[in-house]
Structure 1
Amino acid sequence: MLKVNNIDVFYGAIHALHDVSIEVNQGEIVTLIGANGAGKSTTLRTVSGLLTPKKGEVTFEGQNIAGLAPHKIVSLGLSQVPEGRRVFANMSVLENLELGAYLRNDKAGIEQDMQDVFKKFPRLLERKEQLSGTLSGGEQQMLAMGRALMSRPKLLLLDEPSMGLAPLLVKEIFNIIQEINQSGTTVLLVEQNAHMALSIAHRAYVLETGKIALAGSAKELANSEEVRKAYLGG
């Protein structure tokens, strides 16, 4: 479904990604793990069109999307939940969700998806008239995920969904990611909590200083001595 082929990405003079290649097949949860600054978020931002690679290509369902405008990429069925949630603080929960569907005009479908989001995240239904800026961190994460789902993505990119959340909420968010995947959405997940990420992913890549250091099934990587030492605390 998604192929990232030998991309190099720069921030000004800083060479952030070196020859990175990953792929995501339909129906999978694939996770990118690695230390802070390893290039995980940069990879996602390149896939979603916020950054353009200097070299290499990004193909989604066979189409080269490197350099395409982000909203065009969303219209192809690829949606990102950004790091730090980025909800529109001065707008209500409902308005944030409606914005997620801004490229669509199928009223009945939008209404159906809105109900599905409220089923997945009952707390958002309780707070639908509330300003998003007044929600807790966990609720904002749910809203950011719900907003991305409103574009009806085929592939959902999640950037650090557990950041800053209490352990109980992390568990809840990860259960929902699995549910989203089981209902037919493919997921590419960037996550600092390597243990949780590997527990739900099918496959994983380890990024180190902008390069792919390891790749394999999530099970293999969870059992790898190297990964255990570096990311799983033991």
Structure 2
Amino acid sequence: MSVGPSQLESAKHTSDREFQQQLTEEPIRKAFIRKVYSILCCQLLISGGCIAFFIFFEPAKKFAIKFQWLYIVVFSVLFVFLIVLSCFDSVRRKFPLNFILLGLFTLLQGFALGLVSARFKTDAVLIAVGVTAFVVLALTIFALQTKLDFTYLSGILFVLVIVLVAFGILCAILQSRYLTLVYSCLGALIFSVYLVVDTQLMLGGKHKYSVSPEEYIFAALNIYMDIFNLLLFILMLTSSFRD
């Protein structure tokens, strides 16, 4: 079948449009990535400060151990913040309300991390933080360099998280150290893959799914929650081995 001049001209115009679109989108995407990582760095610094306060300041550690009902209150409020920031795009896109809510959420999340860390030995917490930092850095570099598209796994990972929650309830009932070790390993593995997926969603480009450049709050929140959950599971793991 022969191709006419009009078809060749149409294909050329299509190719030119795609090239121009790529040139336009690339600087926008790079600015979006810089903004996401800037927000993420601020969140991690706040969380790190809260953890250090609770594990090195003895009165704060005793306070966290004494008032255990704070766990329920803090995590309940965090859940509300998470629903608002995740489900209502009109809120998370409205400046400066989005930054105010994200800042409050980060402070509460850091406080929650501090409460949890206070219940573990200081050396176990420091080891968990160091291991988490190494894993996050390695997985981020992997997500930036690999040609494999992990964004396809979003649906499967969501199902695995539901299974993980059910498994966690079982572990709480049975109180088995070996089940807890398996639960910690599975949780760390699932959220490690989640970190790669959310990083690639932020990168966009040739990946099938991507996050809009307008959703910098949502992208930062996703990656921060991946790191938060990864730290919790690694902390459980290191504490079990230390014990």
Q: Between Structure 1 and Structure 2, whose CA radius of gyration is higher?
A: 2
Shorter chain as normaliser: what TM range? under 0.3
